Structure 1
Amino acid sequence: MQLSDEKKIRVMYRVEPGCLGPDGVDHIEDFCRFANKHIKSPYYAQLLFLPRYDKQKGERQYSVKNRNLSQVQAKAYLNHFEIDIEDFEEQLDELLSKSIDLYFKR
């Protein structure tokens, strides 16, 4: 199945510098560029990894056509593709964890 970009759910994932270790703040910008290049988005989504400097902003933000979605709306959107949002987020966290390992091994 091929979706046009405007129909894909966009997932802005704000990465905590601390998940890169005690000097994570020194690596977070470079890591996000690395993650954006190496983590492939599924056919129904666009993934974007950004540093999370502002704790007021959520870790994940879902949107479609530049309109932010609530968690309930994001869940309904993913259900359309028979994707469970909890499983999706768990897989995303695992991908991020593996990418952190790859980032530091390069």
Structure 2
Amino acid sequence: MQLPDDKKIRLMYRVEPGCLGPQGADHIEDFCRYANKHIKSPYYGQFLFLPRFDKQKDERQYSVKSRNLSRVQAKAYLNHFEIDIDTFEEQLDELLTKAIDLYFKR
């Protein structure tokens, strides 16, 4: 099953430089390019990894058709695909952790 891009939920995930260790600020932009290339999005979604330099912005921002969704709206959207948002986010965090390990082992 494949959804058209305008029907997919988009998750903009802002990655903290500190996730990459003490020198994270030196690596964060390159890592986000790496993550965007290597972490595959599910059929119903689209991931975008960006550095999180501004703490005022949320770590995760969901949207559909460029319209931002609240967490409640994102949860309802994912429920349509029988996906629990908490499980979804936990699995994505695990993928991100693995990607960090692979990034540094390159």
Asked whether the two chains share a fold, i.e. TM above 0.5, the reply is yes
Structure 2: stretches of 5+ with no match in the other structure: none
The AA in structure 2 aligned to 1:25 is: A
Which residue matches 1:2?
2
Identical pairs, percent: 85
Match of 2:35 in 1: 35
Matched length: 106
2:81 counterpart residue number: 81
* Runs of 4 or more above 6 Å deviation: none
Q: Please give the secondary structure, in 2, of the residue aligned with 1:36.
A: helix
Root-mean-square deviation (Å): 0.3
User: How far apart, in 1, do the equivalents of 2:93 and 2:2 lie?
Assistant: 25
Per-residue deviation, residues 23-51 of structure 1 (Å, max 9, x unmatched): 10000000000000000000000000000
Please give the residue correspondences for 1:50-69 in structure 2 after superposition, counting only pairs within 5 Å. 50-69=50-69
TM-superposed CA distance for 1:2, in Å, is 1.2
AA of the residue aligned to 2:26: D
Name the SS for the 2:31 alignment partner: helix
TM-score, normalisation: structure 2: 0.99
Aligned partner of 1:24 in structure 2 is 24
* Structure 1, gaps ≥5 residues long: none
